[in-house]
Amino acid sequence: VPTCERYAVRRLPFARLEDGDVAFFERLMPGRVVTGEEEVKAFNVDWLKSVRGCSQLVLKPQTTAEVSQVLRYCHEKNLAVNPQGGNTGLVGGSVPVFDEIILSTALMNKIISFDKVSGILVCQAGCVLERLNEYLEEQGFVMPLDLGAKGSCHIGGNVATNAGGLRLLRYGSLRGTVLGLEVVLADGSALDCLTSLRKDNTGYDLKQLFIGSEGTLGVITAVSILCPQKPKAVNVAFLGCQSFAKVLETFTTCRAMLGEILSAYEFMDEKCMELVERHLKLSRPVTGSPFYVLIETSGSNSTHDEEKLSNFLEQAMASGLVTDGTVATDDKKIKELWSLRERITEALTHEGYVYKYDISLPVGKLYDLVTDMRARLGHSAKSVVGYGHLGDGNLHLNITAESYSHSLLDAIEPFVYEWTAGCSGSISAEHGLGFKKKQFIQYSKPQQAVVLMQQFKAMLDPKGILNPYKTLPSAPKRSLC
């Protein structure tokens, strides 16, 4: 079902694509304009297959200059544009709602420079995260972020959504590691803030406006990012806990005993593991617990790290925090353990329709929402599961059903947002607001802040052509299709 029908959205008064427009783009970038219905189809549908646009045109620029010419033309003609990276987003932000032109960064995949002394990488926005990591590993470095979607997602999309992921506990968010951006604004003008400096205190830090703006303020075309050295020693422990209270206590013990080498602390409930085992045929080394945790250490001295991890595990087992577990030190087994966590999202898609919630909460209350939601929905949901980045207070609550149901959605929303707001949490920890969550921003931001955001949007994109219907609540007045 097209998004505009399922969600009863009205089209804003943008121009409609004409043959003359297509001819202009074909002259600008011959061979990189996609118009066939079948070829465009994949760009119109999100990874979850939960939202579907009706775009008739995909453009694949290779340079910032081409992006600039595209946006200048679209601005003049009042044509709406949907910037798209790897299309791995989970809130409907990366696909059109109506017939917006899709501006794909897929061919903007060049590494511009890498400085081995400073660890600063400069690259185009369409570079795939996993490719960047492979390139850096050859130089003895790694990317400061890691996501389950790393094989498809683009660094520009990661920055545009301020993606968090599995390494945030160790290396912090992109707001700290991104040093500079090159961005093309709605009118086609290019903003070059692609600095490679760790420190630059001259005026407002404009890049922060575009990090997490989901393509609504400008199109990110290049990124400068600080990359840490590749750890010489990596260990992963996969442990079973008998209660969520034990998961929390294990975390505080682990943080105290592992200190600077702790790089990830992930948790998942038994239902998650059951789905990964059933749908993806992955075997789990530890069974029989209601909760599981995955702990990763990264350091420069394997003997030192293994000793610390061993002391922690002895303490955790002796005090009854952990009932069973396994440790991996070789790459193959480490990847196998990580896949149990990283592929939960994939396993959930085999269940039918998935209602996804990405929430920040005080760590002590993280699982209470899952318990309350299970009680509230009863048998109307197929499964209600909870997993996430416990180390930074980020819960992924997922609810599955055979197919989309409006009545089930009404039972979940706005209850889930009210519950989160009641705990002073955030309704989007790392996925962004996109199309699906934009109307609920008030649960996490005061009205004054939302108005200020709308003013920024109006200033940078006065015609509203960049990724319309996303991130910010709709204006009160709407024009019909």
> Domains of the chain (ranges plus CATH)?
3-104 (3.30.43.10), 111-226 (3.30.465.10), 233-343 (3.30.70.2190), 351-443 (3.30.70.2740)
Residue 1: predicted pLDDT: 83
In 3D, which of 231, 220, 226, 160 has the Cα closest to residue 192? 220
Alpha helices of 216-301 — where are they, by DSSP H? 244-258, 270-280
Q: Interhelix angle for 368-377 vs 415-422, to 10°?
A: 150
Phi and psi at residue 126, in whole multiples of 5°?
Answer: -90, 5
- 296, 301, 307, 308 alpha-carbon torsion, rounded to 10°: -50
B/e letters for 214-225, b = 16+ CB within 10 Å, e = fewer, are: bbbbbbbbbbbb
DSSP annotation string for 409-425: HHHHTTHHHHHHHHTT-
Helices and strands per DSSP (H, E), number in the chain: 18, 16
Does the predicted model carry a pTM greater than 0.85? yes
Phi and psi at residue 391, in whole multiples of 5°?
Answer: -55, -30
In DSSP terms, 266 is beta-bridged to 294
Residue 474: predicted pLDDT: 77
Residue 74: predicted pLDDT: 98
- 305, 265, 255, 427 alpha-carbon torsion, rounded to 10°: 150
In 3D, which of 384, 470, 370, 376 has the Cα closest to residue 420? 370
CA separation for the pair 95, 105 (Å, rounded):
13
CA separation for the pair 296, 340 (Å, rounded):
14
Residue 8: predicted pLDDT: 83
Q: Which positions of the chain have pLDDT values less than 50? A: 477-481
CA separation for the pair 273, 287 (Å, rounded):
9
In 3D, which of 474, 166, 185 has the Cα closest to residue 342? 166
For 16-62, write each residue's pLDDT tens digit: 999 999 999 999 999 999 999 999 999 999 988 889 999 999 999 99
In a 13 Å sphere around the CA of 85, the CA atoms on its Cβ side amount to 32
Residue 161 CB contacts under 8 Å (≥ 6 apart), including other chains: 89, 93, 212, 214, 430, 431, 432
User: Are the CB atoms for 67 and 103 separated by under 8 Å?
Assistant: yes
CA separation for the pair 292, 367 (Å, rounded):
13
User: Are the CB atoms for 96 and 102 separated by under 8 Å?
Assistant: yes
CA separation for the pair 140, 157 (Å, rounded):
25
User: Are the CB atoms for 22 and 105 separated by under 8 Å?
Assistant: no
Output the CA angle 365-368-374, nearest 5 degrees.
160
Tokens linked to 9:
């959205």
In 3D, which of 152, 132, 154, 155 has the Cα closest to residue 142? 132
